[in-house]
Amino acid sequence: MFPIVSAASIAAKVTRDRRIRAWQFLEPNVKISSDGYGSGYPGDPSTKKFLVDSIDPVFGYSSLVRFSWKTADVLLEKSCVKAEWEELDAGAPSVKGWLISKPFFALQKDGKFPVIQFRVYATEQSLSMGKVVKVVDDFQLADAQELKVREYSNPDRKLMLNFTLPPATRRNGTLFLVFLYLPKDTPEDVDYRRAKWYVIQKAQVSAYREPERTFNLMTGEVKEKLPPVTHIRSVVNIMSFEDSPEISLRDAPEIQLFGDENGYYPMLYVADLLNREKDLVEVEI
């Protein structure tokens, strides 16, 4: 394994050197010494000299340089344009105001949220909405609910999705579910984009797997070799906030929020990490 890794490293270095040897800089006034870029590592004297000489006092490094803490050390050693921030009074406007997003639907005294509409669409195409398969007009975000894609007899299951699979899905195709939060009492025939507000997420709930009868997990015995077929996730986990917090977009940039500068609508998140292989059900043609 080690010779292979070493060969790959050498090949990568040679390829990189060839690419940057005749690099055409978009930025003006980039200085390149006769020694060139060096090895590319900030500890290399030739590379460090290139970093120091080519840095612009206002715009920093060129697009060729990939930033790291080592390059930051070089940057700090270089004299650049000095910028100072004025101290703001306690009552003065702050940039923090637009970094904090407030909920439009706050948790009420009874521990509940204002009810909303919850819709689910099913489609075999990733760019299509498909057909409505579930509408809950009094959906309560504070209630823990599980979404089942097929009928179960367990009375604890809150939400069932009973629908006929699209023909393309049955023919070893794919299946997507589209989840929507909308204002309560939004007519079903109204396009969601015409609603006062909406929150939307899409998830692929199909996967290709070998039929279960082809192997035995306990013994590893292969019973019958069959090609992979479409399986459907019988359990889909969607989540929202259990509370209505004020969210700092600076501290949580990965959260996808729907709304505007005045606030955000209920968060809708498809929890793919909660998927379980045991919940995959083979599609029988």
Question: Strand 131-139 and strand 116-123: pairing?
Answer: antiparallel
Say which residue, 152 or 219, is predicted with more confidence: 219
* pLDDT of res. 187: 93
Residues 6+ positions from 80 with CB-CB distance below 8 Å: 55, 57, 58, 60
Token digits of residue 273: 């990490």
Confidence of residue 59 (pLDDT cuts 50, 70, 90): confident
d(CA 156, CA 150) in angstroms, rounded, equals 14
List the single range of 38-52, 79-93, 245-259 with lowest mean pLDDT.
79-93
d(CA 257, CA 155) in angstroms, rounded, equals 33
* pLDDT of res. 94: 47
d(CA 207, CA 275) in angstroms, rounded, equals 12
* pLDDT of res. 151: 37
The percent of residues above 70 in pLDDT, for the chain, comes to 66
Confidence of residue 42 (pLDDT cuts 50, 70, 90): low
pLDDT, tens digit, 9 for 90 and up, residues 175-218 = 999 999 999 999 988 889 999 999 999 999 988 887 776 555 55
Instruction: Tell me: pLDDT of 168 over 70.
Output: yes
**Mean predicted confidence (pLDDT) in 12-40:** 72
* pLDDT of res. 178: 94
* pLDDT of res. 195: 92
Residues 6+ positions from 48 with CB-CB distance below 8 Å: 38, 42, 74
d(CA 266, CA 201) in angstroms, rounded, equals 12
* pLDDT of res. 152: 37
Distance spanning both ends of the chain, measured CA to CA: 45
Whether the CB-CB separation of 57 and 79 falls below 8 Å is answered with yes
pLDDT, tens digit, 9 for 90 and up, residues 229-259 = 888 888 888 888 766 667 665 556 556 778 8
Q: How many CA atoms lie within 13 A of 264 on its CB side?
A: 20
* pLDDT of res. 156: 40
d(CA 80, CA 60) in angstroms, rounded, equals 8
Instruction: Tell me: pLDDT of 117 over 90.
Output: yes
Whether the CB-CB separation of 146 and 233 falls below 8 Å is answered with no
* pLDDT of res. 74: 67
Instruction: Tell me: pLDDT of 108 over 90.
Output: no
The partner residues of 159 in beta bridges, in order of sequence, read 147
Instruction: Tell me: pLDDT of 81 over 50.
Output: yes
Mean pLDDT of the chain: 75
